[in-house]
Amino acid sequence: MARTLYQKIWDDHLVQTLDDGTGLLYIDRHLVHEVTSPQAFEGLRLAGRPVWRADANLAVPDHNVPTTDRAAGIADPISRTQVDTLDRNAREFALPYFPMADQRQGIVHVIGPEQGATLPGMTVVCGDSHTSTHGAFGALAFGIGTSEVEHVLATQCLLQQPAKTMRIWVEGALDAGLTAKDLALAIIGEIGTAGGTGYVIEFAGPAVQALSMEGRMTLCNMTIEAGARAGMVAVDDTTIDYVRGRPFAPTDAHWEAAKAWWRTLHSDEGASFDREVRLDAAQIRPQVTWGTSPEMVAAVDAAVPDPAQAGDPVKAQGMRRALEYMGLAAGQAISDIAVDKVFIGSCTNSRIEDLREAAAVVRGRHVAASVKLAMVVPGSGLVKAQAEAEGLDAIFRAAGFEWREPGCSMCLAMNADRLEPGERCASTSNRNFEGRQGQGGRTHLLSPAMAAAAGITGHLVDFRTLPSVA
Amino acid sequence: MQAFRVHSGVVLPMDRANVDTDAIIPKQYLKSVRRTGFGPYAFDDWRYLDAGDLDTPVDSRRPNPDFELNDARYAGASILLARRNFGCGSSREHAVWALADQGFRCVIAPSFADIFFNNCFKNGVLPIVLEEETIDELFAFAAGGAELTVDLEQQQIHVGERQIDFRVDPARRERLLAGLDDIGQTLQLRAQIQDFEARRRREKPWLFGARA
């Protein structure tokens, strides 16, 4: 029978189906960070349980780490305690670990793929909703809560109900300069933030196949913002070329055997999905969010929508609250919105390709005087080193951007990087919720090139309309 | 885990859609390495007029009188009533810990985000999905302060004289009724997991062994 990619991976990891229909799934890779793991390790200690398979894990601190000089350690004692706790737990339970000082340290969803710790066909979990990122490799990857983190550590398995399947087919090609971020936001605008609830989404079609691995990761990363725990893309040459030679990737005879299996990781011809959605990439314009939910999104050349036109009263009420919080009025041109800060980074958009796209816009220009802070936070120490080898840091610095150390940073403001009340930010991150980037802060989600352009002009703008550099 | 069988309590109506887990428990409290004590910070940005963090004494904070949770008519509420897509966003289980620590045993909404929904069952909190129309009726009922009874054994909500049926996945219902620990249950299948793992190691050896 024709199977979907999701069904293939499910079948390959099914240890047992319990009497009630719940599946016990084997987990190949468990990524661990400092925020959602301490209570899980404590639970193991209290119950006297060992870690089932230490080598299936990879631990790294990312949420709390400072992005400024790290020589002095972490200033905030509570943040420091959390990172110290991860250090201690990783040592005690002998987990593979990249501490803060390791050059391979970075955002957990950047370093997994970068190291080849994320491989096609794997089940990948982490106590973090953006684990959906790893589905870009034809893996089944999803975020879990801390109780499940403990469950994986103790049993190498998870209890799962089978999900419904959705295929989002993207026809055509994105306009030059448009990215996976624009595509992801357009999809969320189309199906809504709860559109994917209960589903695993497979992204397919020519516009998806044309994406690089970085682009596919951005797209799958944002799947959770559409409500789906997991997003996936079938394996092809792009996937295999990316994985080849990574430190954790198979070599020699194992490589050939792995590759043969990976080639089967796609939905079969005629496989049926519970829901199919089709989009035309050519219709997509650069996307920017205007509200406090990722589905509150519009093209940069559009106007802020009017709640009175929403129809649905619950939706209209949400829009009114959002406009009030964001300090915006219906009908206002999006390109008239001025920003105070610019953040280029996060597990959505901090990979080398993202930094190249932003640097291409920034090159030869300067941050607007009205912008208080424009910062670039690479996704990992290795991304940072690569960018520096390409001279991207020099381009950013010359333009007035700050060039920082890797981590989650202002995506969720657990470290010192945050918005002050009322400040408005052009951000390449994934969530524009109230207070996400700092209490009272206002977030506009967009692509790296669009964030860079907002930094240069001081307002939201279609980066393609910037006057050329003399 | 605390079992859930029958629970009666005051309903807190929170007339908002897309209540995300950042709103339920803001990031500054995620720095705690404990599982308890998050109750006073539930809905922190909405609940207080001033900013706070783990070091701020709770009694020094200024409550927002316009926020439902601070309304005396809903004092001691243990059942939360909300709109669609409750618990969206971050996977932080701290959101459920905060609700439970605040005293909520049950959340009723037209839909929930998957990860939050799942986390509830690990902590003895019952999430109930009902039709939008029924939710509208419950909002009308709960306005001003009212009590209802949630019976998980019968899968019924008692609202005055009226009964509302709901459905919970049978496996999850069983575990919640018994207050069972998932890990202990899974470890009863230790031999099956070991067999599966041994076969996987033979067939796909490259998935084993870390080189960090």
Do the Cβ atoms of A156 and A125 come closer than 8 Å? no
Q: Who among A96, A97, A433 is closest to B23 (CB)? A: A433
Query: Side by side, which strands form the sheet with A199-204?
Result: A230-232, A199-204, A164-171, A275-280
Q: Does domain B11-144 have CATH number 3.20.19.10?
A: yes
| Mean local confidence (pLDDT), A369-392 | 98
Chain B, nearest residue to A18 by Cα = B171
pLDDT along chain B (212 residues), means of 10: 95 97 97 95 97 95 97 98 97 98 98 97 97 97 97 97 96 92 93 98 91 52
Q: Do A412 and B22 touch (CB under 8 A)?
A: yes
The verdict on A247 touching B (C-beta cutoff 8 Å) is yes
Task: Measure in Å the smallest separation between the Cα of A220 and chain B Cα atoms.
Answer: 15
Tell me the mean pLDDT in the region A299-316: 95
Distance CA A345, CA A405 (A): 11
pLDDT at B1: 85
Whether residue A20 is predicted with pLDDT greater than 90 in this model: the reply is: no
Counted across chains A and B, CB pairs separated by less than 8 A come out at 201
Closest residue in A to B85 (Cα) is A194
| Nearest Cβ partner for B31 among A42, A148, A414 | A414
Report pLDDT for B98.
98
- Which residues 6+ apart lie within 8 Å of B127 measured at CB? B86, B87, B106, B107, B108, B109, B112, B116, B117, B120, B121
pLDDT of residue B2: 87
Tell me which chain B residues have a C-beta less than 8 angstroms from the C-beta of A54.
210
* Contact residues on chain A for B183, CB-CB shorter than 8 A: 47, 49, 150-151, 154-155
Mean pLDDT across chain A: 97
In this predicted structure, the answer to whether residue A93 has a pLDDT above a threshold of 90 is yes
How far away is chain A from the Cα of B36, in angstroms, using its nearest Cα?
Answer: 10
Q: What is the pLDDT of residue B180?
A: 87
CA–CA dist A282, A303 (Å, integer): 21
Write down the domain spans for chain B.
11-144, 181-212
Which residue from A116, A54, A91 is spatially nearest to A382, judged by alpha carbons?
A116
* Cβ-contact A463, A452 below 8 angstroms: yes
Q: Which residue has the tokens 């309309």?
A: A465
Is residue A320 within 8 Å of residue B22, measured between CB atoms? no
Residue B18 bridge partners (DSSP):
none
CB contact (8 A) between residue A148 and residue B122: yes
Mutate to test the interface with B, among A12, A87, A148, A225 (most CBs of B within 10 A): A148
Largest CA distance in chain A: 70
Report the Cα A457 to chain-centroid distance in Å.
26
pLDDT computed for residue B210 by the predictor: 59
Which of A39, A150, A227 has the CB atom closest to B34's CB atom?
A39
Distance from CA of A104 to the nearest CA of B (A): 10
3-state secondary structure (DSSP) of residue B12: strand
Within 8 A by CB and 6+ apart from B151, the residues are: B5, B6, B157, B158
Interface of A with B in 358-387 (CB under 8 A): none
- B-proximal residues of A, 76-95, CB under 8 Å: 76, 78-79, 81-82, 85
pLDDT, tens only, A412-432: 999 999 999 999 999 999 999
What per-residue confidence (pLDDT) applies to A72? 86
Give burial (CB, 10 Å; 0-12/13-18/19+) of A75: exposed
Q: What is the ipTM of this complex?
A: 0.95
- Residue written as tokens 């725990």? A229
Residue A415 at interface with chain B, using a CB cutoff of 8 Å:
no
Q: What percent of chain A has pLDDT over 90?
A: 97
Q: Name the residue among B15, B53, B122 with its Cβ closest to that of A147.
A: B122
DSSP code for B34: S
Residue of B nearest to A437 (CA): B27
- Measured CA distances, A115 to A139, A191, A351 (Å): 15, 33, 13
pLDDT tens sequence across A215-245: 999 999 999 999 999 999 999 999 999 999 9
What was the pLDDT predicted at B211?
56
Contact between B113 and A197 using a beta-carbon 8 Å cutoff = yes
pLDDT (mean) for A57-72: 94
Confidence of residue A19 (pLDDT cuts 50, 70, 90): confident
pLDDT in tens, A137-164: 999 999 999 999 999 999 999 999 999 9
Give the minimum alpha-carbon distance from A65 to chain B in angstroms, rounded to a whole number. Answer: 12
pLDDT, one tens digit per residue, over A436-453 is 999 999 999 999 999 999
CB nearest A151 (choices: B20, B113, B186): B186
φ/ψ of A194, rounded to 5, equals: -110, 5
Q: What's the pTM?
A: 0.96
Please judge whether A435 and B54 are an interchain contact, meaning their C-beta atoms are less than 8 angstroms apart.
Answer: no
Cα separation, A238 vs B36, whole angstroms: 46
Are residues A53 and B197, on separate chains, in Cβ contact within 8 Å? yes
Task: Give dist(CA B125, CA A115) in Å, integer.
Answer: 38
Joined tokens for residue A206: 């020519």
3-state secondary structure of B210: coil
